[in-house]
Amino acid sequence: MTGTRDRGQAFPIYIVVVTGLLFAALAFVVIGMGGAKRSDAQGAADAAALAAAQEARDNVFVGLDLPGLAQGDWERILRGDRLDTEGACGKGLAFAAMNDAQATCEEDLPEFRVSVVTNGTVGDSVIPGTEGVHANARATAVIEPRCTLTSMPPPSPSPSASSSPSPSASPGTGMPASIGIRCKGGVVLTLDPERPGSLTKLARKLFSVRLAD
């Protein structure tokens, strides 16, 4: 009889312990769901910030007359002083939306700062209030110049000084046919402003984009 009473007394304790363990297990699941949602938010913020910075970088030559640029103009371009932010934040917001998040974007060249809030929540769980909890995250992307101007031959002589144009200059512009640019890693570019090729590819050689630490 004593053994039966002991088992009867232990059963409620067993139920309490099992219930507690189940609640703890469900709580850990909720914590994992929250972590996953925060990871989603950070991924959306990173993608949005990078997209905004890359858009500004890729469009650095839009609207510029390359053959007409003087040495000072090229130096300002290579320093990042001629970056155009038009449409950059819009690109970032679009990337956030693609990642199921809403974002705000702030431009402060050479940086783009993005804050996002996920559209989805952690969802219903054993922890009250999680059904209304959204994840937040922030990210900053930086545009960094990679190159400097190394050589720019002098403009061709004026017609009064010479009857024939310099072979290193573009006729009628007073500008050389090509300029030299040195980039990080020892890469040297020789650019013909009259035939620059893809301006987007050129911009990507001149500037890198990274997430700030």
Give the pLDDT score at 27. Answer: 47
Q: How many CA atoms lie within 13 A of 162 on its CB side?
A: 11
- pLDDT tens track for 104-161: 999 999 999 999 998 876 544 444 444 556 788 999 999 999 999 997 766 655 544 4
Q: Output the average pLDDT for the chain.
A: 78
CB atoms near residue 10 (< 10 Å): 10
Please report, rounded to a whole number, the percentage of residues in the chain having pLDDT higher than 90. Answer: 50
- Give domain limits for the chain: 2-211
Contact 169, 146 (CB under 8 A): no
Q: How distant, in Å, are the alpha carbons of 102, 105, 139, 146, 212 from that of 142?
A: 21, 13, 10, 12, 6
pLDDT at 185 over 50: yes
Higher pLDDT, 49 or 167: 49
- Cα–Cα distance between 96 and 47 in angstroms, integer? 7
